[in-house]
Amino acid sequence: MQYIDNIIFFIALIAGFGFFFKSLKEIYRNIQLGKKIDRTDNPSVRWKTMAKVALGQSKMGKRPIAGFLHVIVYVGFVIINIELIEIIVDGIFGTHRFLAGIFGDTLYGVFTATLEILALLVIIAVVLFFIRRNFYGVKRLTMKELFGWPKQDANWILLIEFALMTAFFTMNSADWVLQQRGVLAEHGNFPVSSGLIAPLFGNFGDSTLVFLERGAWWFHFVGILFFMNYLYYSKHLHIILAFPNTWFANLQPKGKFNNLDSVTKEIKLMMDPNADPYAAAPEADPNAVPDKFGANDIFDLNQVQLLNAYSCTECGRCTSVCPANITGKKLSPRKIMMDTRDRIEEVAKNINKNGKFVDDGKKLLDDHIQREELWACTTCNACVEACPVLIDPLSIIFEMRRFLVMEQSSAPSELNVMMTNVENNAAPWAYNQADRLNWAKEN
């Protein structure tokens, strides 16, 4: 019976990671629903971009307060997770503070002290974030698209992080008191726990302290597994996906939009004076699905755009710089990304239920994203510039406009006038092309 702890631990560990990888697999499957796109050119630039933007947090500093707090939580999170290695080894083999034996006492002291200080900073940052998000009235954090789950999600995350850090301190404090009493061997250095929290534990009996230490240890471990599996349902998926998302980011100038090759073929044929207008059309592949122009659902978007949707943290930096949104129009680039992810999830549930996607009569366009939002965009790229993880909401807006214009001919009437003018007069206004050089003769 003495191994029961280890066995329960092992089962929890396998289950936790198992579910986690199942979720990742599902996300991967869902991203595959999009169209293929080759974003593997210039790998060295891509690695550099990822190191700078995702690992180095280079775009977070643009908003110094949020950026600074974020870096603390991020660094804390990454480093404190080294602790996870120790927890796993201790849990499986029933050792206590396994790393102490590896590091030696001095280094282990530095290690545990660093963790304690980071954990304290994380707690402070998390509390400040909670106040800022809920009571401070930052506009991008109080907009109506965040009502409901997105707002709860953010608070849950802060709460979980707070709870994990509290458990960490409870564990260390109880451990430290027990070490002082000689119950446990002395390992580590705990500047925060010994100074701030341990005095509160002074009157507790040994068995209470052992219970506290073990309880907090288990809570910390199970909490991490829970947190990991919670990610799938949360905007906090970005802590993982920010990395591939920045790697697959667009390396071209932001102003460069893609050209549709299928159209090029048509137009070249149209402009070719030697083309025979009566020639029979080449034998078409009867199984070929005709190319659709643009996108009205997630299946028409490319895989990077779907990855973008999963990577979105809903921070709203894009929306807060969007000229349309600033002036009260319905467009919010953040909502475009949230809608896209919602639609992916909707399709994913459909696939899980039916084995494959069965038409549900819904689309990303109209059922999630409204036309009014799409037509308000000035294509200024401010949202793309602002995103801390290099998401491109503009590319989705643009593909959906293509669908509206080329598949449905449903552009606003003034734009139809403009397009007719371009087609007939080679200018957006109804001037004669022959008058194009008149300015040269004027004074």
**What three-state secondary structure class fits 369?**
strand
Q: What is the DSSP letter of 40?
A: -
Indicate the residue among 206 and 372 with the shorter CB distance to other proteins: 372
Give how many residues touch other proteins by CB under 8 A.
69
Q: How far is the CB of 28 from other proteins (least distance, A)?
A: 30
**What three-state secondary structure class fits 312?**
coil
d(CA 146, CA 140): 9
Per-residue contact string for residues 207-246; x = within reach of other proteins by CB under 8 A = ----------------------------------------
* 135 touching other proteins, by CB under 8 A: no
Q: Find tokens 């933007």 and name the residue.
A: 53
Q: CA 352, 354, 360 angle in degrees (round to 5)? A: 100
* 321 touching other proteins, by CB under 8 A: yes
Name which position in 329, 346, 351, 363 contacts other proteins (CB under 8 A).
329
Indicate the residue among 4 and 270 with the shorter CB distance to other proteins: 270
Name which position in 1, 4, 267, 288 contacts other proteins (CB under 8 A).
267
> Which among 338, 346, 343 is positioned nearest to 313, based on CA atoms?
338
* 381 touching other proteins, by CB under 8 A: yes
Indicate the residue among 180 and 379 with the shorter CB distance to other proteins: 379
Indicate the residue among 261 and 359 with the shorter CB distance to other proteins: 261
User: To which H or E segment does residue 318 belong?
Assistant: helix 317-321
Determine contact, residues 436/442, Cβ cutoff 8 Å.
no
Which residues does 186 contact at the CB level (< 8 Å), separation at least 6? 179
Determine contact, residues 128/161, Cβ cutoff 8 Å.
no
Name which position in 60, 99, 122, 376 contacts other proteins (CB under 8 A).
376
Q: How far is the CB of 273 from other proteins (least distance, A)?
A: 11
d(CA 197, CA 193): 5
Determine contact, residues 400/295, Cβ cutoff 8 Å.
yes
User: Rounded to 5, what percent of the chain is helix, strand, coil?
Assistant: 65, 0, 30
Name which position in 148, 205, 255, 355 contacts other proteins (CB under 8 A).
255
Span of 35-43, 202-210, 283-291, 427-435 interacting with other proteins by CB under 8 A: 427-435
Indicate the residue among 80 and 391 with the shorter CB distance to other proteins: 391
Span of 73-81, 146-154, 275-283, 426-434 interacting with other proteins by CB under 8 A: 426-434
Q: How far is the CB of 39 from other proteins (least distance, A)?
A: 16
> Which among 229, 231, 313 is positioned nearest to 57, based on CA atoms?
313
Secondary structure E strands in 240-342: none
Q: How far is the CB of 265 from other proteins (least distance, A)?
A: 10
d(CA 365, CA 298): 9
> Which among 215, 219, 237, 217 is positioned nearest to 228, based on CA atoms?
237
Name which position in 95, 152, 208, 433 contacts other proteins (CB under 8 A).
433
Q: Find tokens 């007719």 and name the residue.
A: 420
Instruction: Give CA separation, 83 vs 15, 95, 104, 190, 328, in Å.
Output: 20, 14, 16, 14, 47
Q: How far is the CB of 61 from other proteins (least distance, A)?
A: 13
Indicate the residue among 172 and 296 with the shorter CB distance to other proteins: 296
Which residues does 314 contact at the CB level (< 8 Å), separation at least 6? 146, 150, 154, 235, 334, 337, 338
Q: What is the DSSP letter of 35?
A: B
**What three-state secondary structure class fits 129?**
helix
Name which position in 119, 158, 369, 404 contacts other proteins (CB under 8 A).
404
Q: How far is the CB of 253 from other proteins (least distance, A)?
A: 5
Q: How far is the CB of 252 from other proteins (least distance, A)?
A: 7
Q: How far is the CB of 243 from other proteins (least distance, A)?
A: 24
* 366 touching other proteins, by CB under 8 A: no
Span of 77-85, 106-114, 174-182, 431-439 interacting with other proteins by CB under 8 A: 431-439
Indicate the residue among 48 and 349 with the shorter CB distance to other proteins: 48
> Which among 230, 226, 221, 224 is positioned nearest to 8, based on CA atoms?
221
* 427 touching other proteins, by CB under 8 A: yes
Per-residue contact string for residues 280-319; x = within reach of other proteins by CB under 8 A = -------------xx-------------------------
- Applying CB under 8 A, the residues found at the interface with other proteins are 252-257, 259-260, 263-264, 266-268, 270-271, 293-294, 321, 323-324, 326-331, 372, 375-382, 384-385, 398, 401-406, 411-412, 414-415, 417-419, 422-423, 426-429, 431, 433-443
